[in-house]
């Protein structure tokens, strides 16, 4: 926003300076001496923060000298900055269609028009405009970056893959993590419609990038859904080894798979080892719910106490109180305490984007706040604060 604001002030100021340097001959213009005065009034109104009155002054200036392309641009950008996209688009389209423009001027008009479309949420038109811009050598890379943003916003994952690969080839940029995520998105869509052949093809392409734990995690899930539990265990053990921080995301599923393969002792060891060593709330909760289901509430209570002694946390204490409440459902005080702890624990148990601070109640690979990938550490806020 700040950038846009200064851009708006600097652009008319530069235009005014250029005007004076060129020795603008007001007398030969249709507006006579009125035009520079109207224009100066617009700039000073803009500088004093009165953008509505500034717009009126610039509209007047445009009427006095309709040939001034820069003036139209200033006005169009002002409309866009205050969210009046319809007028911004109308103005920039009018400039773009003017017959006397040279190539550079027409490209500048198209760039502004594309910007209007994207900010107005007219993504189809923005895509068409940036595609045209990408054919101009000087605009090629900037247009590809904007196209990539559009494809991600619109969930057009294959177009996103193609564009990111073009950026890698043409600009030498590294987009491996994003490309892996785009393939994972395609794989998840295929998995939802139970097209495992298509899902596995995408997962293979994602794993090849070796850039995000999401790919092997997904490979394990696809294998498990197809009944290949040995394969799932192999993938998830790889995750635990290569990305230990992310093992909290799959520890429950891994224990389930080991248990279903007939190794109940192995599954329990895995969970008890998690409780003894991991300080992740997610891993703790996944382990505790399974111990409660497999060994009963008594064993789970002992495990929760063990976790609390080693690593005191509101979430672990809340889990312990819930287990106690299950054993004594008529205890009114316990019910109150358990409810209170649960509310507070839930408030703290959120994930936070390390780039922009966006909070999410579920773990996500893509931040809705800033658009970054892999920006959520797989740790709840409570744990992060404890560690800092
Ligand atoms: Zn973010």
The per-residue DSSP string of 197-252 comes to HHHHHHHHHHHHT---THHHHHHHHHHHHTT-HHHHHHHHHHHHHH-GGGGGGTHH
Tell how far the Cα of 121 is from the centroid of ligand 1, in angstroms: 20
Give 4's Cβ-side CA count (13 Å radius).
13
Tell how far the Cα of 373 is from the centroid of ligand 1, in angstroms: 8
Tell how far the Cα of 186 is from the centroid of ligand 1, in angstroms: 22
Tell how far the Cα of 377 is from the centroid of ligand 1, in angstroms: 11
* pLDDT of amino acid 12: 57
* pLDDT of amino acid 349: 82
- Among residues 206, 115, 117, 119, the alpha carbon closest in space to that of 161 is found at 206
Tell how far the Cα of 376 is from the centroid of ligand 1, in angstroms: 8
The reply to whether 378 falls in a domain is yes
The reply to whether 374 falls in a domain is yes
Instruction: Find out whether 42 and 57 touch, Cβ atoms under 8 Å.
Output: yes
Tell how far the Cα of 3 is from the centroid of ligand 1, in angstroms: 19
Tell how far the Cα of 355 is from the centroid of ligand 1, in angstroms: 5
Domain count, the chain: 2
pLDDT profile of the chain (388 residues), mean per 10: 51 53 45 66 74 73 72 82 89 84 90 94 96 95 97 97 97 96 98 98 97 98 98 97 93 97 94 84 89 90 86 84 88 92 85 95 94 94 60
Report the run of H or E that residue 359 belongs to, with start and end. Answer: strand 359-360
Tell how far the Cα of 357 is from the centroid of ligand 1, in angstroms: 6
The reply to whether 235 falls in a domain is yes
The reply to whether 250 falls in a domain is no
Residue 166, Cα to own-chain centre: how many angstroms?
Answer: 21
* pLDDT of amino acid 387: 47
Q: What tokens does 349 get?
A: 């148990």
- Which of the listed residues 204, 222, 242 is the one where a domain comes to its end? 242
Q: Which domain holds residue 204?
A: 174-242
Tell how far the Cα of 172 is from the centroid of ligand 1, in angstroms: 25
Tell how far the Cα of 183 is from the centroid of ligand 1, in angstroms: 21
Tell how far the Cα of 374 is from the centroid of ligand 1, in angstroms: 9
Kindly report the CATH number assigned to the domain that includes residue 203. Answer: 1.25.40
Tell how far the Cα of 368 is from the centroid of ligand 1, in angstroms: 7
The reply to whether 203 falls in a domain is yes
The reply to whether 82 falls in a domain is no
The reply to whether 115 falls in a domain is no
Tell how far the Cα of 362 is from the centroid of ligand 1, in angstroms: 14
* pLDDT of amino acid 308: 85
Neighbours of ion ligand 1 (CB under 5 A): 353, 355-356, 358, 367, 369-370
Tell how far the Cα of 126 is from the centroid of ligand 1, in angstroms: 24
Give Dmax over CA atoms of the chain in angstroms: 95
* pLDDT of amino acid 6: 53
* pLDDT of amino acid 2: 45
Tell how far the Cα of 348 is from the centroid of ligand 1, in angstroms: 18
Tell how far the Cα of 149 is from the centroid of ligand 1, in angstroms: 15
- Which of the listed residues 208, 242, 276 is the one where a domain comes to its end? 242
Tell how far the Cα of 5 is from the centroid of ligand 1, in angstroms: 23
- Which of the listed residues 242, 275, 294 is the one where a domain comes to its end? 242
* pLDDT of amino acid 210: 95
The reply to whether 372 falls in a domain is yes
* pLDDT of amino acid 1: 42
Structure-derived torsion over alpha carbons of residues 167, 168, 169, 170, reported in degrees to the nearest 10: 40
Tell how far the Cα of 41 is from the centroid of ligand 1, in angstroms: 41
């Amino acid at each position: 926003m700040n950038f846009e604001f200064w851009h708006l002030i600097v652009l008319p100021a530069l235009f005014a300076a250029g005007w004076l340097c060129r020795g603008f001959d007001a007398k030969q213009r249709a507006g006579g001496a009125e035009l520079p005065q109207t224009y100066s009034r617009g700039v000073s109104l803009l500088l004093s923060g009165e953008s509505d009155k500034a717009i009126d002054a610039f509209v007047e200036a445009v009427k006095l000298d309709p040939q001034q392309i820069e003036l139209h641009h200033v006005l169009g950008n002002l409309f866009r900055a205050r969210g009046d996209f319809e007028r911004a688009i109308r103005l920039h389209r009018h400039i773009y269609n003017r017959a006397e423009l040279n190539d550079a001027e027409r490209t500048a008009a198209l760039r502004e028009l594309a910007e209007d479309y994207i900010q107005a949420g007219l993504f189809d038109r923005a895509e068409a405009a940036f595609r045209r811009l990408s054919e101009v050598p000087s605009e090629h890379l900037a247009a590809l970056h904007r196209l990539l943003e559009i494809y991600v916003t619109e969930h057009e994952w294959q177009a996103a893959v193609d564009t990111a690969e073009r950026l890698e080839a043409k600009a030498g940029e590294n987009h491996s993590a994003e490309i892996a995520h785009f393939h994972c998105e395609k794989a998840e869509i295929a998995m939802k419609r139970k097209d495992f052949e298509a899902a596995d093809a995408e997962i293979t392409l994602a794993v090849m990038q070796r850039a995000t734990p999401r790919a092997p995690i997904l490979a394990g899930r696809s294998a498990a859904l197809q009944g290949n539990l040995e394969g799932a265990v192999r993938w998830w053990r790889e995750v635990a080894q290569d990305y230990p921080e992310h093992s909290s995301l799959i520890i429950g599923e891994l224990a389930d798979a080991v248990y279903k393969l007939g190794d109940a002792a192995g599954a329990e060891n895995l969970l008890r080892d998690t409780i003894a060593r991991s300080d992740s709330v997610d891993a703790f909760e996944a382990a505790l719910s399974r111990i409660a289901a497999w060994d009963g509430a008594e064993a789970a209570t002992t495990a929760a106490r063990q976790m609390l002694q080693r690593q005191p946390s509101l979430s672990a204490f809340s889990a312990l109180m819930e287990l106690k409440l299950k054993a004594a459902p008529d205890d009114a005080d316990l019910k109150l305490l358990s409810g209170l702890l649960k509310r507070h624990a839930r408030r703290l148990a959120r994930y936070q984007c390390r780039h922009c601070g966006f909070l999410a109640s579920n773990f996500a690979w893509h931040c809705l706040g800033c658009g970054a990938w892999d920006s959520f550490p797989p740790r709840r806020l409570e744990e992060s604060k404890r560690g800092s």
